[in-house]
Chains A and B, each alone.
Chain A
Amino acid sequence: MTSGSRIAIFGATSDIAAAYARRSAEGKARLALFARDAAALDALKADLVVRGAAEVQTFAADFTDFSALPGLARTALTALGGLDVALVAYGSLPDQKTLNTDPAALRAALDLNFTSPAMLANLLAEGLEPARAGAIAVITSVAGDRGRQSNYGYGAAKGGLQTFLDGLRHRLAPAGVHVLDIRPGFVATKMTAHLPQGGPLWAMPDKVATDIAGALRKRSAVLYTPWFWWGIMTIIRAVPRAVFHRTKL
């Protein structure tokens, strides 16, 4: 992260995004933060200023309001006089059992985890493509790698987003705009606080944020974080369906 980088973060108060914002602030970045909870945004801003951010602007945003997305993208592209990195980090982890019986809940989960970030990524691309610079980093999930009975609603949204980013990357390659698909495994955050955290598979948000900074520097296409999830998901994708159906995954 070079000093003075211009970074926009959507869903900035999520634990992974906040950890990335802190890292960036300590590297003297300029930040535009978007999130739903204005009080949490204010607390984050104060923290980032003490940590050394050269500039912090905050914007309350409802990512489920599709009509507002073009405005958010425009703000992100202009507030800092250009944009080096856009991190799209919002999402929700719905309960699959609820999604199984509640179509409205399924639709809301798909809207927030797929439709909204896909639209936003495309809107950001519109601005970055002519500038022929910048990076769009989007947090998907290892859950998008294969549909599993325990969370295929969330997994489908994230899997769809992975495919969307694959295509967007293809489109933006000639312009030199970097598209990063971030696939975390289990991360100890507010979103997973209802699950029994701990054990070797669980990572802390700081670790994921460090990996994100590294992948942006290296211009990676896909980041599994922590790295061992690449191996785990390769195996899970390879398990024959007949065997897979006998698991509770």
Chain B
Amino acid sequence: MSARATPYASWGGVLRAPHIACRPATRAAAAEVLCGGGTMVLHGNGRSYGDVALNPGGGLMDITALDRFIAFDPDTGLLTCEAGVKLSDILEVLSRPQADGGGWLLPVMPGTRFITVAGAIANDVHGKNAHHLGSFGNHVEQVELVRSDGSRLTCSRTEHPDLFAATLGGLGLTGLILSATLRLRRVPGLGIESEDIRFGHLDDFFRLDAESADHWEYTAAWVDCLASGAALGRGIYSRGRHVPGVACDPPARAPRLSVPLTPPLSAVNGLSVRAFNALYWRKLGGAGRRLSIGSYGPSFFPLDAIGQWPRLYGPRGFYQFQAVVPHADGPAVTRELLKTIAASRQGSMLVVLKRFGTVEPEGLLSFPMPGISLALDFPNRGEATLRLLGRLESLVMEAGGRIYPAKDSCMRAESFAQGYPALDAFRAFIDPALTSAFARRVGILKEFPA
């Protein structure tokens, strides 16, 4: 397997560095690379915003060529596929409407479908139905894991259950996932009924959320992060649910539009965000709500409408921040976070507020926990942005929350340890051949202090 210096970047574009990279074509070749000596990071389709899948200047195994389906049982919905198969491929091949309009669907779909199965497992990703069905790992039946000592293990809730739990949300540090078996879900209609409702204040979000929780499977809200004072936390609440008998085709395999090149300056700035937010908040017109029935694509995968969209942030890229805080202080802390962001005037259009439910994630380092999650982008303005992120981090940690590794670029080691109390237990499962810039930065790997 030939390795060569190849540039790999974080999705936010802030970190870009050459790696000694290889892209094995088969599972056997990938296992050989892992066991061949040296340390490396495992890299999927490169949608992590920060450094969980980077190892600047060091080894990197790109798993995207492991993209074969292995088996699908149309009676049980069990799908076995290689680690690098993308969620978009699964939807395209298996989420076809059947005669009754229903069909097989991924039980958990994150904000982009262009991620690999192994990446979804390693980050234990969640979607808009987290309050009903939990996170991706809850629907993984087993993984085929190879470790650098040459062992090749089938891990599930019954075989090597501890290693299985460490691997769900394990940030690619517990071994190389060669293949995985997922339990797809049969829905009575692939199409969804979705309703957008404008709300004027953060309190209205919590009211809408409480009233929607039981009967709407998919919920999330967009928030105008520039609004302050009486309008603090105004936004649009989106809720959706499957409609029996309504068919819909899978979303396209690739975005129809793409940003062809990086503009010299960020197109996301105070003026454009203010204009966008003002217009977007009014998009529902006088009624303030809109009901529609159709494909889940546009509302589930808003980020997939335009390819290479991070280029809009210009050459300096952007930071993403996502944290969850427990319900007890959820409204108060969310208000404080939004106030801090509004005062900084640094936020962007992309802001998502979402409630996580009580379905326990199974991974030792899984991000979701019961509480309120806030996610948003910040154009990279250097020190000023890092200071803001530091303030947000402090607020989250004081409230007993945690920050999402897949989105993070600057969390402190103490914050990671506090947010992920199973860290010590997790360390026992780390494969010595695996590393990442993130794991070193937040002190998961002790021998490399941040």
Using a CB–CB distance below 8 Å, which chain A residues touch chain B?
Answer: 26, 39-40, 43-44, 46-47, 50-52, 190, 193-194, 196, 198
CA distance A232 to B71 in the complex (A): 43
Q: Which of A50, A194, A198 contacts B71 (CB 8 A)?
A: A50
| Across-interface contacts of B93 in A (CB, < 8 A) | 26, 50-52
| Across-interface contacts of A190 in B (CB, < 8 A) | 25
* B121-148 to A contact mask, C-beta < 8 Å, 1/0: 0000000000000000000000000000
CA distance A102 to B79 in the complex (A): 49
CA distance A40 to B72 in the complex (A): 19
CB pair A196 B4 closer than 8 Å: yes
| Across-interface contacts of B4 in A (CB, < 8 A) | 196
CB pair A50 B26 closer than 8 Å: no
| Across-interface contacts of B81 in A (CB, < 8 A) | 50
Chain B stretch 72-119: residues in CB contact (< 8 A) with chain A = 72, 79, 81, 92-94
CB pair A43 B68 closer than 8 Å: yes
Q: Which of B2, B23, B25, B68 contacts A194 (CB 8 A)?
A: B2
CA distance A26 to B94 in the complex (A): 10
Q: Smallest Cβ distance from B250 to chain A, in angstroms?
A: 11
Q: Smallest Cβ distance from A237 to chain B, in angstroms?
A: 30
CA distance A201 to B257 in the complex (A): 20
CA distance A39 to B68 in the complex (A): 13
CA distance A193 to B1 in the complex (A): 9
Q: Which of B2, B23, B69, B79 contacts A47 (CB 8 A)?
A: B69
| Across-interface contacts of A50 in B (CB, < 8 A) | 69-72, 79, 81, 93-94
Can you sample 5 A-B contacts with CB below 8 Å? A40-B26, A43-B70, A50-B72, A50-B81, A51-B93
CB pair A47 B25 closer than 8 Å: no
| Across-interface contacts of B23 in A (CB, < 8 A) | 193
Q: Smallest Cβ distance from A154 to chain B, in angstroms?
A: 19
CB pair B2 A51 closer than 8 Å: no
CA distance A208 to B94 in the complex (A): 24
CA distance A52 to B89 in the complex (A): 13
CA distance A217 to B23 in the complex (A): 33
CA distance A33 to B79 in the complex (A): 24
CB pair B26 A51 closer than 8 Å: no
CB pair A47 B26 closer than 8 Å: no
In the complex, residue of chain A having the shortest beta-carbon distance to the beta carbon of B1: A193
| Across-interface contacts of A26 in B (CB, < 8 A) | 92-93
In the complex, residue of chain A having the shortest beta-carbon distance to the beta carbon of B72: A50
Given contacts A51-B93, A52-B93, A190-B25, whether A44 and B2 have CB atoms under 8 Å apart is: no
CA distance A198 to B25 in the complex (A): 17
Chain B stretch 362-400: residues in CB contact (< 8 A) with chain A = none
Given contacts A40-B26, A52-B93, whether A46 and B2 have CB atoms under 8 Å apart is: no
CA distance A39 to B71 in the complex (A): 16
CB pair A46 B68 closer than 8 Å: yes
CB pair A51 B25 closer than 8 Å: no
In the complex, residue of chain A having the shortest beta-carbon distance to the beta carbon of B68: A47
CB pair A46 B25 closer than 8 Å: no
Chain B stretch 7-50: residues in CB contact (< 8 A) with chain A = 23, 25-26, 28
Given contacts A26-B93, A52-B93, whether A46 and B71 have CB atoms under 8 Å apart is: yes
| Across-interface contacts of B79 in A (CB, < 8 A) | 50
Q: Smallest Cβ distance from A38 to chain B, in angstroms?
A: 13
CB pair B71 A43 closer than 8 Å: no
| Across-interface contacts of B69 in A (CB, < 8 A) | 46-47, 50-51
CA distance A136 to B69 in the complex (A): 28
In the complex, residue of chain B having the shortest beta-carbon distance to the beta carbon of A44: B68
CA distance A46 to B4 in the complex (A): 31
CA distance A28 to B6 in the complex (A): 38
| Across-interface contacts of A39 in B (CB, < 8 A) | 28
Q: Which of A47, A52, A196, A198 contacts B70 (CB 8 A)?
A: A47
CA distance A40 to B23 in the complex (A): 16
Q: Smallest Cβ distance from A58 to chain B, in angstroms?
A: 14
